[in-house]
């Protein structure tokens, strides 16, 4: 029977699990039917949500045994079952947080444009995975035999203290969240998208700042792991772990469902809104785009936008030359003369 702080904790966990689940089918639908580009990051994202579901489920079971209540109010068998199932749930949380951030990292790898971007992302993902797995293992071998961790009736000896590793994991999760939130502002300007699209995507990817803040709060609450009143003092840690994992999934999922939003609200396709997140080094000839080097923010426009621009400029004076070359490095040059003033505009053809 749920009692004490248990109902509050379980309610928050299921609410966060439900909110993050909304993005699972939306993301899969967007990737499969709109972009037709289902990737590894989508499977990792779904796996991260499954780990959140398992975390919430095991903590719910722990609540029926006394999680959220003072350990002194429980029988020894109830306390053992509550701590044991809670520990299983925490293991899924530790691994799930790394998996969710891996999903974002893999997504970023699909759109970054420079080698050092890829290297830094791989370093972040690899190091976080190592720390997460290491913490999960130490969590279960901090005392030997492992039964002595949650059952005081079993004699055992302490092998290693898990709290420092938990602090390291929480801190590193926050660092990776902040880095992944900052990185888009560095490379997004080199993608073949409109300026408005770049700003929107950069802001949506920066929602990871929220997950980083949740990670800091969760790290502060790690003191409950070493408390003798484990079933009650770990409630804040359990809640904030669920919030961080769910917020991470939500922040990762929002940018990937934007093509679906554009399709519903504006009726546009992925190609029209450049939602395919293609790099400049792409080679699809069907998606020629035109760069205006004179713009300091590197705006890219579609072919129909180009002719609209030329038509409006032509009203101010006769177009003396307009030629289109072949290949990625060729230029379109329009020279305009009006009262002795020469206006030169260069337009670079990009194959993306």
For the chain, the structural domain boundaries read 6-265, 285-351
pLDDT of the residue at 47: 97
Query: Within 10 Å of residue 198's Cβ, how many Cβ atoms?
Result: 22
Distances from the Cα of 303 to the Cαs of 47, 256, 268, in angstroms?
Answer: 40, 25, 16
Query: Where is average pLDDT lowest: 5-14, 20-29, 195-204, 252-261?
Result: 195-204
Chain centroid offset of residue 227 CA: 32
Q: Which residue is listed with tokens 């408390």? A: 227
pLDDT higher than threshold 80 for residue 23? yes
pLDDT in tens, 254-308: 888 988 988 888 775 544 444 444 444 444 433 333 333 333 333 333 333 333 3
CB 225 within 8 A of CB 163: yes
Q: Work out the mean pLDDT of the chain and round it to a whole number.
A: 78
Query: Within 10 Å of residue 141's Cβ, how many Cβ atoms?
Result: 13
Higher-pLDDT residue of 348, 262:
262
Task: State the fold for domain 6-265.
Answer: Rhopdopsin 7-helix transmembrane proteins (1.20.1070)
pLDDT in tens, 30-70: 999 998 889 999 999 999 999 999 999 999 999 999 999 99
Mark residue 191 as left, alpha or beta (left: phi above 0; alpha: psi -120 to 50; beta: remaining).
beta
Secondary structure of 183-221 in HEC code, one letter for each residue: CHHHHHHHCCCCHHHHHHHHHHHCCHHHHHHHHHHHHHH
pLDDT higher than threshold 60 for residue 169? yes
pLDDT higher than threshold 90 for residue 316? no
- Mean pLDDT value across residues 65-82: 94
């Amino acid at each position: 029977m749920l009692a004490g702080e248990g109902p509050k904790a379980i309610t928050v966990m299921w609410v966060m699990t439900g909110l993050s689940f909304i993005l699972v089918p939306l993301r899969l639908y967007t990737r499969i039917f709109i972009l037709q580009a289902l990737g590894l990051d989508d499977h990792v994202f779904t796996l991260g949500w499954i780990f959140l579901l398992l975390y919430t489920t095991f903590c719910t079971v722990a609540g029926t045994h006394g999680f959220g209540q003072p350990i002194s109010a429980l029988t020894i068998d109830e306390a053992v079952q509550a701590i044991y199932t809670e520990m299983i749930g925490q293991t899924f949380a530790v691994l799930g947080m790394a998996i969710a951030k891996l999903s974002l990292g893999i997504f970023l790898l699909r759109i970054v444009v420079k080698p050092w971007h890829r290297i830094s992302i791989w370093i972040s993902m690899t190091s976080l995975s190592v720390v997460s797995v290491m913490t999960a293992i130490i969590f279960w071998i901090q005392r030997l035999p492992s039964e002595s961790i949650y059952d005081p009736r079993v004699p055992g000896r302490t092998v290693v203290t898990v709290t420092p590793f938990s602090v390291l994991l929480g801190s590193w999760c926050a660092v990776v969240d902040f880095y992944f939130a900052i990185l888009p502002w560095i490379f997004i300007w080199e993608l073949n998208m409109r300026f408005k699209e770049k700003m929107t995507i950069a802001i949506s990817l920066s929602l990871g700042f929220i997950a980083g803040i949740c990670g800091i709060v969760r790290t502060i609450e790690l003191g409950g792991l070493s408390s003798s009143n484990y079933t009650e003092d770990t409630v804040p840690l359990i809640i904030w772990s669920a919030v961080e994992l769910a917020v991470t999934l939500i922040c990762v999922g929002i940018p990937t469902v934007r093509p679906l939003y554009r399709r519903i609200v504006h009726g546009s396709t992925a190609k029209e809104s450049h939602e395919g997140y293609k790099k400049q080094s792409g080679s699809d000839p069907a998606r020629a785009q035109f760069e205006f080097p004179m713009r300091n923010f590197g705006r890219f426009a579609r072919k129909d936008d180009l002719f609209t621009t030329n038509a409006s400029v032509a009203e101010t004076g006769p177009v003396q030359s307009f030629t289109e070359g072949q290949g990625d490095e060729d230029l379109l040059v329009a020279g305009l003369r009006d009262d002795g003033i020469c206006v030169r505009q260069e337009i670079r053809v990009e194959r993306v």
